[in-house]
Structure 1
C-alpha cells in the first residue's frame, strides 16, 4: 500500500485554560483541629511538595513537559480546636480562618492545599475521602472580596497522603494523593478508567463491556494505593490542561481521510514533538454507564502513548518480572504466556477519551490482549476474570495490530527503532 502524508488537522475538542500552564502560585496550609501534639512535620511536606527530587513540584514539571511548575511555600499550623470541629471545614471556613489569622494574601494564590490534623474516623471517614479538590479554579466571596483559586483538602495523617522521603515505595513519588488531587486542581474533571469487553478489545454493544472506575494503573489519575508502573497523566488529560497540543506538534491529530500514516512516536515523557497521537472517531465507541437508562458515555477519540521506564514512569522497569510481587494471586493464561512469565512493555498503549462539554472527562485504557491475566481466589483456588489485572499487559507490541472495523481503523506497532522511538502505522 502506498502511504500518503496526511495533513495534520489543528483542531481540539477542548480549549484549555491558561490557568494550568506556567507558574502556579501554591500555598500549603495546615489546620490543627485536635491540638494533641501529634500533627506531622511541616518540614516533611515542604520537602515532599517543593524540594525533593521526586517531589510533587518536579512531577508537575515532568508530566506537563516543563509547561507548569509550583512556586510557593508551607505555612505554620493554625490551631483551630476552638472551632469545635474535628472533620473537614467548609471552603468558606477554610478561607475565613486564613484571613482572620492573617496567614497569607489569598488574592496572590492559584492553588491552595489544606492539610487537616483531624479525626478522620467514624462518620467523617465514612462520608469523606482522604483527599478531594475543586476541578480547576473557583471564585469565592470572602470578607476581603472575591478570590479565585483552586482548593484541595487532605487528611494530613492518612497513610496515602502522608509523604514519604524519598518516595512512597509503591508509587515512585513523595505523595501520590497530593499529586492526584493537584491534577483535579489544575482542571482535570474526571479520572482514568479501564474498559473491559471480555474477549474483545472494544465492542459497539455496551452490554458486553464493563468499566472499572479510577483503575488505570498506568496513570496517577487512576487512583492510589497500588503499585503503579507509571504515573504520567493520560494524553487526553494532558491535552485538556494544555500540556501537549498541535501548536508545538507534541500531539498529532488525525481524522478519517482514507489514507495511512507511519509515525515515529517518541517516549511519553519526552519534551518536544510526537509525544502522542489523537485519532478522532466518526463512530464513537459506547461505554457502559452507572445509570443505563440515561447513558451517553462514549469514546470519541483514541490516543496512542509510548510509555517507557523514564522519570516518574520508571517503575515500568519492575513490571515485567515482578508483577506477582505487587499483584497478589495473578494468573497468566498459557495461551499468552507459554514459555515466559514476563509481561512485555516494549510497545504502545491505546486510551480512549470521553468528552463532556468539550472537556476531556475520562480516559479509558484499552486491553489489546484481553483475557490474558486473571486472579486466583485464595479461598477456593478459583481463577476469575479481573479487569485491573488483565489490563496490566495492555501494550501493543511490535508485530501486533489493533483493528476496529466500524471506523475502518487499523493500528500496527511495527518496531522500536534505533533511536528508541515506537514506529506505528495507522490506517484510517
Structure 2
C-alpha cells in the first residue's frame, strides 16, 4: 500500500494534519492505536491562547470546532486573597476533548474523512525502515479483540508523527530527547462550575506547589476544573482536598473524571528525513502553563502545508521539507518560558503575593499586556526592569531574582 502522507496519531495534531493534507488533495492515511478517536484524552475542556491571532487564522481556514472564545481571565492567589483580571484583544479558545462525537478530535477527523482520508483504528506502528527519506516503509499492526492480525506494509512519501510525547517514532528512529519536566493533570467535567465569560486560574504554593487550579466553562455550560502540577504524583486526593476547602459550593454536577500526564522535552531536530514531528511528539507543550492545543494545531498545520507543497511539486528531496523545521523553530522559541517555569516552581506564597502586587500595580499604571507579549526578550526585560525600579517593594525582587538564578543553574 502506498500513500502521499501517513499521519501517526489521531489526537488534535494528527487530526489537523490529516484534514489539511486530505483537503488539499493528498492521498492521506491516518492511524490511531486506540479503538476509537479521542479515548486517550478523557472528556474535558482544554484552552489555548490565540497569540497574534495565529489560531484564529487556522480555525477559520479549516473550519475547526471550538466551544468558546474568551478575552477575560481571572487570576487568584488564595492565601493572600489577591487577584487581578486580564482583558486581552487576542483571547483564548476552548476546545472540547475526548470521545464525544462533537469533540475536537472526532469532528476534525470526520472532516478529514469527508475529504478522502483513510482512517485505521486499533493500529500501531511496529517497525519503520527509513533511509534518510529516500526509501521509507512502515509496518502497521492491526489489533482486533485483543489479538493481532496480519501486518500491513505501507510506503508513504512523508510521515507526520503526531502520537504524543511517547511517540512510537522516537523509538523506531532511535531519537534522543532531553527531558525537562514531567507533569500531571487530574480534573472533572460537568456543568456550570463558573460563568462562561472568563477563565479562572488559582495559585496556592502550599496546596499546589509549582502548579495551579483552573476552571473553564463553555457557552453550552460544559465545565472543566482541574489541577496541573509537575512531577509523578497522584493528584486525585489533592484535587478533592482543594475543592473541599475552596470550591465545595461550585464544583457540583460532575459527570466524569479525567487524568493524564505529559513530558516536556526537547528533540535535537523536529525532522528526521521525511518524518516530521508535531505537537506533543515534537516536545512543543508550553513549559510554563502546559498549554498543548495551540502548539499542536499550529505545528501540524505548518508541517501539513510543507507536505502538500512537497508532494504537489514532486519535490520530495529532504531540502523541500526543511522549511517546516525552520518555521517551527522560529515560532516555538521557548527559552523565556523555560526560565519562567523554573522560577515559578521555586516561588512560595510570599513571593506569589509580591507577584500579584506587581501585576495589580502594572494594571493601575496602564501597562498593555497585549503589547508586552509581542516584545522581543531584550525589550521585555528592559521594560520590566525600568518598571520595577519604581516599585516601593523593588528590593524584595532580589529574592525572586536569586531564585531564578538558582533555577537556571539547575539546567533550565
Higher share in helix: 2
Scaled by the length of structure 1, the TM-score of the pair is 0.25
Scaled by the length of structure 2, the TM-score of the pair is 0.26
User: Per chain length, whose mean CA-contact separation is higher, i.e. which structure has more relative contact order (CA < 8 Å, sep 6+)?
Assistant: 2
